[in-house]
Chains A and B, each alone.
Chain A
Amino acid sequence: MGMDTRPANPGATKGDVTRPRTGQVLAGSGLVRALSPSRPVAIVLALLSLAVLIALPWLLTGFWTRVLTSVFMFAALAQSLNIIAGFVGRADFGNIVYFGLGAYTTGFFVLAAVPFPLGIAAAALLAALIATLIGLPVLRLKGHYFAIATIGIMEGTRQLVNNADFLGGGSGMVLPILGLEPAVFNRIVYFAMFGLMVGYTAIVYRMARGSFGYELRAIKADEQAAAVMGINTTRAKTTAWAMSAGGSAIVGGVYALWFGFISPESVFNIVMGTEYFIMMLVGGAGTVMGPIVGAVIIELLTVTVWANFVHGHLAILGLAIVLVVVFIPNGVVPTVRRWVLRR
């Protein structure tokens, strides 16, 4: 076999392998540990950036506060998607359906005078429940078949909502205005989205190191081999999809509150769903920091281009897909990590 004869292959012979292979050893540990000289430095850096991000809404204009809010929103969505698409390897192109369901469920309950947090909790539970029920059959599919099924679910749901009069049908749903001063309201949404991004990333960070993360990675690598090694693949996949759906639904709930108006076109929006899928790919699918890095890159790029050419951001997305697939198929985070470790 070819790999037997590869010359520069330190792992191939027994004599060589006593030398630690730094790249491989660190590849499994976190980006923070891999990129920074020591743990205390990393903690100080993290606290510092946290302080800056907390202060920013008072320093920035309303426009840039909203831009950052949408960066956080997309990062949270990409992180939710990362659980099923990045870790399990199931290309959930219709993940935006849970964002839409979350927005509508929250809207429905808020209009029924249910407190907003309860509405969001209901949205998360409903989305997770639906993902579980759909997932039991649909997660048996893989590759293109799974991707197409998720797009079908998403389009079907959009049509259902379009015709659901109790949700406002095609004309959408207007949520009550909270009566807060715009600057204060924007700051609240900013911190809500920021909190979701940080919270989801913390969950994924813990997940990636624990048993559940290994279950998902094993399923991604080889589902049948994972099963015969004792992993309950059905349970693991379904749990991952339920988590992903619940996460996207919560973001949808906050979005509904933020914009005050939702319609089938605005929340069951396949273009937006594709956007955060690309963000996850650009940053690095299956990595902890990838979704955040991808969201920052793509969203800032989009806003800059959009300011000048209204539909230009779509071209940017297309270009990003091409560049990532050709040059960094694993995404920015794994590529940078490898580059740093090589030096």
Chain B
Amino acid sequence: MSEARASVLQAAAVSLRFGGLAAVHGVSFDVVQGEIFGLIGPNGAGKTTMMNIISGIYRPDSGTLLFNGESIAGLAPHRVAQRGIARTFQVMRPFEGMTVRENVAIGARFGRADGPKSMAAAMVKADQALETMELSGVATSSVSDLTTGQRKKLELARALAMDPKLLLLDEVMAGLNPREIGEVMELVRRVNGMGVTVLLIEHLMKAVMGLCSRILVLHHGASIALGTPDEVTRDESVIRAYLGDRYAAQHAQVEEALR
């Protein structure tokens, strides 16, 4: 590449405390235009909290958060959304009592300030997102009739209908069977191919390694490693965070012996 691509999202020294607990502590990273950026770490590392800060659900105590160069720290969630950041939830949260198409149309109607001005127009836009996510067949179904895999795709379709510049995915693969995981990975690539930058939280290493160009590892709210999938998985502190000190020591001995 001749020149570095622009940063879409820049976090610098972002911190948030819940009482005595430093949920996120001095976390800094850049997400570059067009990439799929991974956010991993053991349970309780602060991944979802970080995502909640980005999407405006929490206001950070300190630090800066820039989206396309403009600060979004502490902005109300709907304003963050309308700037072009869409997200999915770890626990799927479709609007019960609405059809699949209506669910997606809400994203289309309200996701962007310059989007469709009527629900009817939003429905048309929703159909495009449903087609991309291969959900056209269940457009008129009630969300309660969907399988887990279809619900995950619905979350993606709702976010996609918002025409996002940045898509935040919170464990979209969790609870899926291997075939569905393959499908959803393909859909994430497809959305990324449409020019949408992706930031994803994922426990499933196969998905993280297969999708992400760079990965940030969080542990106890602090970042401990940042790099390509290969760099991160060889990092001592990452191995220690995931597998404990004793394993890390053994691992180091083995590496030493092999050298």
Contacts and interface: CB of A to CB of B under 8 A. Distances in A.
Interface of A: 1, 3-4, 9-12, 14, 17-18, 20-21, 24-25, 27-28, 209-211, 214-215, 217-218, 221-222, 224-234
Contacts of A14: 137
Interface in B90-124: 93-99, 102, 105-107, 109-112, 117-119
B214 interface: no
Nearest to A5: B147
B112 A230 contact: yes
B99 A229 contact: no
28 contacts: A10-B145, A11-B138, A21-B141, A27-B142, A210-B118, A214-B102, A214-B109, A217-B95, A221-B96, A221-B97, A222-B95, A224-B93, A227-B56, A227-B76, A227-B78, A228-B55, A228-B57, A228-B78, A228-B86, A229-B86, A229-B110, A229-B111, A229-B162, A230-B78, A230-B82, A230-B162, A231-B78, A234-B76
Which 4 residue pairs across A and B have the least CB separation, nearest first?
A: A11-B145, A230-B110, A11-B141, A221-B95
B29 interface: no
A225 B76 contact: no
A210 B175 CA distance: 35
Interface residues of B, number: 43
Indicate the member of B94, B95, B107, B117 with the most A CB atoms within 10 Å.
B95
Contacts of B138: 11, 17
A215 B148 contact: no
Contacts, number: 115
A20 B55 contact: no
B140 A24 contact: yes
Given A20-B140, A24-B99, A225-B95, A230 B107 contact: yes
B23 interface: no
Contact of A232 (B78, B87, B140): B78
Nearest to B177: A4
A229 B142 contact: no
Interface of B: 55-57, 76-78, 80-82, 86-87, 89, 93-99, 102, 105-107, 109-112, 117-119, 137-138, 140-142, 144-148, 158, 162, 175
Contacts of A24: 99, 140-142, 145
Contacts of A20: 140
Contact of B147 (A12, A211, A217, A230): A12
Contact of A221 (B78, B98, B107, B119): B98
A224 B94 CA distance: 11
Nearest to B83: A230
A27 B175 CA distance: 30
Contacts of B86: 228-229
A232 B113 CA distance: 11
B100 to A, nearest CB: 9
B244 to A, nearest CB: 32
A3 B109 contact: no
Contacts of B97: 217, 221
B123 to A, nearest CB: 10
A228 B99 CA distance: 19
Contacts of B87: 228
Contact of B98 (A12, A17, A217): A217
B65 to A, nearest CB: 16
A333 to B, nearest CB: 14
B106 A228 contact: no
Contacts of B137: 14, 17-18
Given A17-B138, A20-B140, A28-B99, A228 B80 contact: yes
A20 B77 CA distance: 36
B119 A214 contact: yes
Contacts of B146: 3, 11-12
B254 to A, nearest CB: 40
Contacts of B107: 229-230
A226 B97 CA distance: 14
A4 B147 contact: yes
B93 A209 contact: no
Contacts of A25: 99, 140
A336 B56 CA distance: 42
B81 A229 contact: yes
Contacts of B110: 211, 215, 229-231
A136 B77 CA distance: 17
Nearest to A11: B145
Given A21-B140, A231-B78, A218 B119 contact: no
A172 B55 CA distance: 52
Nearest to A28: B99
Contacts of B89: 225
A217 to B, nearest CB: 7
Contacts of A214: 102, 105-106, 109, 119
A1 B175 contact: yes
A228 B119 contact: no
A304 B238 CA distance: 75
A221 B97 CA distance: 8
